[in-house]
Amino acid sequence: MSLKFAILGILNVMPMTGYDLKHQAFDASVRHFWPADQSQIYRTLSKLADDDLVSVTVEAQDERPDRKVYAITPAGQAALTAWLKADQAVPTLRDPLLVQLFFGQELPRADLLRVVAQQLAAHQAQLAVFDQIPIPPAASRPDDRWLALQHLTLDFGVALEQAYVSWLAKCQEVITHMPDADEVPDFRERFNPPTG
């Protein structure tokens, strides 16, 4: 549902082609909190046009295919405003690493540490990406609401990645000091006590 409103939000700033939405808007900013591939964007644009939330203008080009430029309509602006004001449910967390750790009791320590180290490197890399986002300091323009709100979303991404990095370091510490898989009784015994 949020892809629809991410697209409307971008088109509320300026009209764009589907290609430009992907490569200039999503890839440059929105992908950090709502990723979308080109086909998802085009499908959503088609639905938005069917619902009269965006208009489509075809621009002819010499020696190239025509361009379809999408612009938000007044109905699209009203839908976007209503959505921006709406309460949102807490998002469902789906993290494969948590499933790996939760059920990783039979893995040797080295395997668990490798899985955690890979995630730690990935989250450190994402922090480095956030550090490279070219955004002016908020203090440089204290009255710029657009800039302040962009900083809040970036600050969330940084805080989330920092929390992951800190938690993953804790995982490494705990796993390093726990008994290895072959040093403890079969965990299933606690669920199936011996009879007799």
Examine the pLDDT at 11 and tell me if it is beyond 90. Answer: yes
Question: What's the burial of 92, exposed, middle or buried (CB within 10 Å: 0-12/13-18/19+)?
Answer: exposed
Cα pseudo-dihedral 161, 167, 169, 170, rounded to 10: 170
pLDDT band at 192 (very low <50, low <70, confident <90, very high): confident
pLDDT band at 32 (very low <50, low <70, confident <90, very high): confident
pLDDT band at 103 (very low <50, low <70, confident <90, very high): very high
What is the average pLDDT score of the chain? Answer: 92
Average pLDDT score over residue span 57-71 = 91
Rounded to whole angstroms, the Cα distance separating 24 from 92 reads 28
Average pLDDT score over residue span 175-189 = 87
Examine the pLDDT at 190 and tell me if it is beyond 70. Answer: yes
* Residue 169 CB neighbour total at 10 angstroms: 12
pLDDT band at 196 (very low <50, low <70, confident <90, very high): low
pLDDT band at 41 (very low <50, low <70, confident <90, very high): very high
Rounded to whole angstroms, the Cα distance separating 129 from 120 reads 14
Strand partners, 61: 64
The region, left, alpha or beta by phi > 0 then psi within -120 to 50, assigned to residue 63 is left
